Chains A and B, each alone.
Chain A
Amino acid sequence: MDDIFKSRTSRRAFLRGSAAAVAGSVAGTAAASEPDPLITELQDWASYTGVGVDETPYGLPIRFEADVVRRNVEWLTASPISSINFTPIHALDGTITPQGCAFERHHSGAIELSKEDYRLMINGLVDQPLVFTYEDLERFPRENHVYFCECAANTGMEWAGAQLNGVQFTHGMIHNMEYTGVPLRTLLNEAGLNAAGELSDKWVYVEGADASSNGRSIPMEKALDDVLVAFKANGEALRMEHGYPVRLVVPGWEGNMWVKWIRRIEVVDAAVESREETSKYTDVYEDGTARKWTWVMDAKSVVTSPSPQKPITHGKGPLVISGLAWSGHGRITRVDVSKDGGINWETARLGKQGDTKALTRFYLDTEWDGSPMLLQSRAMDETGYVQPTKDQLREQRGENSVYHNNCIQTWYVNAEGIAENVEVS
């Protein structure tokens, strides 16, 4: 996979490119008939002074970026208090999601819980049930890891057909942050697991402090592996909407398990089978039976630009096709891009080697001749798993699943550069 990271421009190709540029310079380079007043005239910002350092103690994006915000789809849910919004992934680049525009999902609204009022209880099959304060948590050895958090329902509206015309809406129930936190196993060791006996059939039940008291059962094997009790994201405190002051991070597994405002961890000998792991987040098949405990988010990718909210506005010529890929099973090793709806594929360039269970950015640097495209991307992870087509998924699961839709997405880009969410044969 190494050659994916190397520059794909050989010296020969560079020379060829230069020759073409010289030959095409008359036709290809835009000519200005009038001098650009932005250059020839003295502009206000080049003459007057700007704002001082005391203007904005905590900065927000400049007003020109006001459309890079989370959005929701009103008809999806009964109330915005028990609802979801979407990360504007069409407008972001790189891999880290700024907290302020990272999607939110609440079951009973985001709550204000201060560090002083925060308590975390560990009970159940432990040697000594314990209560921790926020300050206690900061005294355990901690780690930093970048992980994606994807709602199991991401792309869920697309099972039955192409529905929402924007990558923010089809794929925006995802964010990717660097978390700082204490490994869950450290806290479990602190309470002592001798009382639990044989650990392989034990579970950890985790529960939030908000009114929904969202609770999920996690197998002990995962709990002792890479789960974090996190209190920082991207270097700063978690935002209220992401569980301030403390949330659970369950790498690679569906977002609902990343319990926010986590208040209790109970070691149990069976899954609790709470509402969120039976009536919700289970996958119904065509014959009416359902799959449960589908925790891992399989490999998935999507082109974020161009996309319906990010049309091509510059016309023919150099075009950067860009997107995101991720897998709950580990690292992304390769992403292929098709411009013809899956007939032919080109291997994209990965921005950098992806972290395990984190977003990876890919680019396909190309020349657009102005003809329509059916853009697709296809991710592969370190297990060799290849992201399936919509038809492959439907063949396995039917159309009623709602959750865990990791199909290949298609954007139809017309000759004007406008992109639309479509399904193809």
Chain B
Amino acid sequence: MSKSLSHIFLPAFGGAALAIAAAVVVANRDYGQSKIETLEDRIAQVEAQASAASEMARAEAERATALDVKIAEVQAAAAERMESGVTLIASAPDADGRYGLGRAALVDEIAAWDVDVLPDGRGLPEGSGDVFTGEEVFAEKCASCHGDFAEGVDNWPVLAGGFDTLGDKDPVKTVGSYWPHLSTAWDYIHRSMPFGEAGTLTADETYAIVAYILYSNDLVDDEFELSHENFTAFEMHNKNGFVVDDRSELEYAQWRKEPCMENCKDSVEITMRATFLDVTPEGGGDSVMNHATTNDTPTFSAVAASDTNAQSVDAGTADVAAVDPALVETGEKVFKKCKACHAVGEGAKNKSGPQLNALLGRTIGAIEGFKYSAAFKAAHDEGRTWDETAMTEFLTKPKAYMKGTKMSFAGLKNEDDIAAVIAYLKSFGG
């Protein structure tokens, strides 16, 4: 026996070992030598296990300490990154491969949406239109805003003239005087015009309108026909009038420097005062770029704004009760087709079409200050009024009901839409 029993008092054994020792002392000596040996083996085993456990505990404690250090390091590094502004924030990952989202665009879909036209004529569909046709189409679809001769109505864009004004105080920038590429006119008219009916012009109509605009700019004669074949041969008046952004050479070079902080000027005088919104005591008139008076200026009063709301609610309530609210709501949606030219409701003003408050029952062509067509003036003089029948006929086919009307709208195809929009208009009186 190389190992004495005293080994059992090794502290590592703990209570269990003491219990085993006690058991050995009180054991019947006849129990046998083999039993003692077995117990000694057992003790050796337990001792070895205890030693291994203590070794493992020490190793784990060391690892824990090391991890604590590591955590402290990571935290310190993170704090440092936070301070220096570098954090765990990252841009969305760039795809090396693809995400496989979306679906293939179909040829017909691309054809429907990809209609832009480039300066070199790419994108132009086949077709043609002459000045004469263009004048007719323009009068019907464009003149209510742009004027019969492309001269512009009210604040709507002037499309013709303005040559040799680009260097003036108020340059007149028209298709003729300013636009560098003819493709821009064709592309814009075809895609975005007429205002409120975008996307309805055929290729031939567009060629014709563009031909007419060139004619109204005195750039072609009245025999001219524009087509996809002669399109790119046409050179615009101002094709060389543009330079690419050169601010970096002309401006940044001299404005990137430490600015003056003290005594930068000898004296400072007021040379001009704003004239809008406030009544400016003196010198305001000269600063007026636009021909507006102080009466045109916006007001800031919140009280006035809420008063207006209150009025509109009062005025509307009684009339709304007389019509079907659901129909009125549908009508409001249909009216979107009219909104480019007509206003209705509290404070509605004439636009390129007259305001439509209290329309039903009103004499045709009765809004003072609106320039009606001869047809409307005649109807007015005859004393004709807008009732539901007249309104329905007019909205079905405006030009059939009122031959010579300036209204370019083609009419509402759907009877329900007509009934709805009339109900909507009724909700504003009449």
Contact = CB atoms under 8 A, between A and B. Distances in A.
Nearest to A131: B105
B91 A298 contact: no
Contacts of A342: 264-265, 268
B256 interface: yes
A279 interface: yes
B6 interface: no
Interface in A319-359: 336, 340-345
Contacts of A160: 169, 287, 289
A282 interface: yes
A190 B95 contact: yes
B179 A73 contact: no
Contacts of B102: 122, 130-133, 136, 190
B241 A131 contact: no
Contacts of B9: none
Contact of A386 (B117, B247, B257, B264): B257
A211 B302 contact: no
Interface in B79-123: 91-95, 98-99, 101-105, 109-110, 113-114, 116-120
A279 B145 CA distance: 18
A5 interface: no
A9 interface: no
Contacts of B242: 278, 282, 289-292
B339 A422 contact: no
A344 B101 CA distance: 58
B105 A130 contact: yes
Contact of A264 (B114, B166, B273, B276): B114
Given A66-B305, A79-B340, A266 B98 contact: no
Contacts of A133: 102
Given A140-B99, A189-B98, A294-B247, A207 B116 contact: yes
B277 interface: yes
Contact of A131 (B103, B257, B340): B103
B262 A345 contact: yes
Contacts of A136: 101-102
A336 B168 CA distance: 35
Contact of A211 (B187, B192, B245, B256): B192
Contacts of B155: 75-79
A69 B114 CA distance: 38
A384 B429 CA distance: 61
A344 B274 contact: no
Contact of B265 (A71, A72, A343): A343
A82 B352 CA distance: 13
Nearest to A111: B336
Contacts of A388: 251, 255
Nearest to A73: B298
A129 B179 CA distance: 32
Given A130-B102, A142-B92, A396 B256 contact: no
Contacts of A236: none
A275 B184 contact: yes
A141 to B, nearest CB: 4
A270 interface: yes
Contacts of B251: 298, 388, 396
Given A161-B286, A309-B300, A380 B259 contact: yes
B167 to A, nearest CB: 4
Contact of A72 (B99, B252, B272, B298): B298
B156 interface: yes
A345 B264 contact: yes
Contacts of A231: none
B306 interface: yes
Interface stretch (B44-52, B193-201, B216-224, B401-409): B193-201
A99 interface: no
B382 interface: no
Interface in B17-54: none
B255 A420 contact: no
Contacts of A18: none
Contacts of A141: 92-93
B56 to A, nearest CB: 45
Interface stretch (B170-178, B203-211, B366-374): B170-178
Contacts of A190: 95, 98-99, 101-102
B61 to A, nearest CB: 43
A136 B101 CA distance: 6
B250 interface: yes
Give the bracket for the number of chain B residues in contact with chain A.
35 or more
Contacts of B171: 284, 288, 400
Interface in B281-334: 286-290, 292, 296-298, 300-302, 305-306
A422 B273 contact: yes
Contacts of A272: 116-118, 187
A383 to B, nearest CB: 6
B121 to A, nearest CB: 12
A192 B167 contact: no
Interface string A134-150: 00100111110000000
B4 interface: no
A292 B119 CA distance: 15
Contact of B95 (A189, A274, A380): A189
A199 B264 CA distance: 47
B116 A341 contact: no
Nearest to A404: B247
Nearest to B90: A143
A298 to B, nearest CB: 7
B1 interface: no
Contacts of A71: 298, 300
A172 B103 CA distance: 41
B296 A74 contact: yes
A57 B41 CA distance: 79
B246 interface: yes
Contact of A165 (B187, B259, B262, B277): B277
A385 B91 contact: no
A289 B120 CA distance: 22
A130 B178 contact: no
Contacts of B264: 342-345
Contacts of A205: 116
B181 interface: yes
B14 to A, nearest CB: 58
Nearest to A387: B255
Contacts of B290: 75-76, 157
Interface string B223-252: 000000000000000000111111100111
A308 B339 contact: no
B199 to A, nearest CB: 7
A211 B198 contact: yes
B154 interface: yes
A164 B276 contact: yes
A169 B245 CA distance: 27
B119 A421 contact: no
Q: Which of B102, B245, B251, B269 lies at the interface centre, i.e. has the most chain A CB atoms within 10 A of its CB?
A: B102
B58 interface: no
A245 interface: no
A378 B259 contact: yes
A209 to B, nearest CB: 9
Contact of B306 (A66, A384, A421): A66
A421 B287 CA distance: 11
Contacts of A243: none
B149 interface: no
Contacts of A69: 305
B274 A308 contact: yes
Question: 5 closest A-B pairs (Cβ-Cβ)?
Answer: A341-B268, A288-B166, A141-B92, A78-B155, A421-B274
6 contacts: A74-B298, A160-B289, A215-B116, A286-B167, A298-B251, A425-B268
